[in-house]
Homo-oligomer: A and B are copies of this chain.
Amino acid sequence: MNEDAKKKLLQMAPHALYVLTSQTPFDQVASTVSWLTQASFEPPLIMTAIRRDTDTYHVVHQSRAFVVNVLGKDQAAVAQKFFKHAELKGEELSGERFERTKVLGFAYFPHLAGYLECRVTDEVDRGDHTVIVAQVVEAELLGAEGPLLLSSTKWQYGG
């Protein structure tokens, strides 16, 4: 395998950054993710890949639901907060104020670009990330202008 070619070609795939939130009765998580795209028009499905050795994956796997919070183009500082374990304190997750979505009742951030509420339909456990296929069941547009493109930040993820 030509590792250099593989890496460079995989890094050509464009990504945005999202904060994925989920919860069980015992735990509440929020993590920044970037490997996400649409997977069907009807029903509306998305696919995302989440690192399997994370709390976020285990909570999504148990709750079978999550919220995709779409970051605004100037919200890299928010993305950065959710690279590590989110801390819940009152009505804030890692210092970001959240409210509850209509259908799932999970956290969303009213100052972002919007959110998609999703129910997991399928999982594929094959690599170091689990592929999650999920149906969009509700959506709301908020005030910020999205998306936050990974290419507009100093970070890279992929290759």
Contact = CB atoms under 8 A, between A and B. Distances in A.
A42 B159 CA distance: 10
A10 B44 contact: yes
B39 A127 contact: yes
Which of A40, A128, A129 gathers the greatest number of chain B CB atoms within 10 Å? Answer: A40
A42 B35 CA distance: 15
Copies in the complex: 2
Given A126-B122, A128-B42, A131-B47, A10 B141 contact: no
A138 interface: yes
Interface of A: 1-2, 4-6, 8-10, 12-16, 35-47, 49, 68, 70, 113-116, 121-122, 124, 126-129, 131, 133, 136-141, 146-147, 149, 158-159
